[in-house]
């Protein structure tokens, strides 16, 4: 990997902090389906190691992307439950190590969470990145490159100056589509779904070592 990156970008859920397990995504799914009963979710999304309800919520949100007003309303419904779960989120092992290892580098968080919920989670754990890009109207969610490119824009860095750290195929595909280097977190999974050539780290402690190594 090398220590040449000016900016480190991170996925949030199950990368820095376990958010999903503290959020009632099944209740969020019921709320979204009650308001959008004819939307059943986008097909063809890459596999991801989320719970069934969380996956279906994301699929519905992805299907609503072309209707910004509907997307924002559905995202708002989901974010209500994400905000409730923010205080139940749990730091992933090695969070402090990787955060301290940043030194003076720029830091961005690129997440599938709503932006208010993402900030609530980050501040609950004492984290203050330079920018956060969550679900926003007009931006396709990961695995599309839109949120990664928006983070680069906000940080003022070029594609070859940044690396994205994430735990899922969605993160990997978003990084590749944006032209940004990617480091995958396996968390001990035998088959995390990354491409064979993708550099990986077992956890955040190993990720920190790889990111700063010259």
Confidence (pLDDT) at 214: 45
Instruction: Report the distance separating Cα 115 and Cα 40, nearest Å.
Output: 24
Q: How crowded is residue 192: how many other Cβ atoms within 10 Å of its Cβ? A: 17
Q: Which residues belong to CATH 3.40.50.1000 in the chain?
A: 7-19+89-212
Name the pTM for this structure. 0.95
Q: Which residues contact 141 (CB under 8 A, 6 or more apart)?
A: 58, 61, 62, 65, 112, 135, 147
pLDDT tens sequence across 9-50:
999 999 999 999 999 999 999 999 999 999 988 777 777 788
Q: Tokens standing for 20?
A: 């999903």
Say how many Å lie between the first and final Cα of the chain, rounded: 8
C-alpha dihedral, 193 to 199 to 201 to 204, nearest 10°: -100
DSSP string covering 89-107: -EEPTTHHHHHHTTTT-EE
Out of 44-48, 162-166, 172-176, pick the least confident. 44-48
pLDDT tens sequence across 54-83:
999 999 999 999 999 999 999 999 999 999
pLDDT at 202 over 70: yes
Q: Report percent pLDDT > 90 for the chain.
A: 88
7-19+89-212: CATH homologous superfamily?
HAD superfamily/HAD-like (3.40.50.1000)
C-alpha dihedral, 138 to 68 to 165 to 82, nearest 10°: 140
Phi, psi torsion values for 19, nearest 5 degrees: -95, -40
Number of residues written out for the chain: 214
Mean pLDDT of the 159-170 span: 96
pLDDT tens sequence across 77-127:
999 999 999 999 999 999 999 999 998 899 999 999 999 999 999 999 999
Handedness of CA 78, 81, 82, 83 (dihedral sign): positive
Instruction: Report the distance separating Cα 57 and Cα 38, nearest Å.
Output: 14
């Amino acid at each position: 990997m090398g220590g040449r990156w000016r900016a480190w970008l991170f996925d949030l859920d199950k990368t820095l902090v376990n958010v999903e397990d503290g959020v009632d995504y099944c209740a969020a799914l019921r709320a979204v389906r009650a308001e959008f009963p004819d939307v059943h979710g986008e097909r063809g999304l890459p596999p991801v190691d989320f719970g069934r309800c969380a996956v279906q919520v994301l699929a519905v949100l992805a299907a609503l992307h072309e209707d910004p007003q509907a997307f924002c309303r559905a995202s708002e419904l989901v974010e209500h439950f994400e905000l409730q779960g923010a205080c139940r989120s749990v730091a992933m092992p090695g969070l402090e190590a990787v955060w301290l290892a940043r030194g003076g580098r720029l830091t961005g968080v690129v997440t599938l969470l709503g932006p208010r919920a993402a900030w609530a989670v980050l501040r609950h754990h004492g984290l203050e990145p330079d920018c956060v890009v969550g679900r926003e109207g007009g931006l396709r969610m990961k695995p599309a490159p839109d949120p990664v490119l928006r983070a680069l824009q906000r940080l003022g860095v070029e594609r070859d100056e940044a690396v994205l750290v994430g735990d899922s195929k969605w993160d990997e595909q978003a990084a590749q589509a944006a032209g940004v280097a990617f480091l995958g977190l396996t968390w001990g999974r035998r088959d995390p779904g990354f491409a064979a050539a993708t550099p990986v780290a077992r956890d955040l402690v190993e990720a920190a070592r790889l990111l700063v190594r010259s």
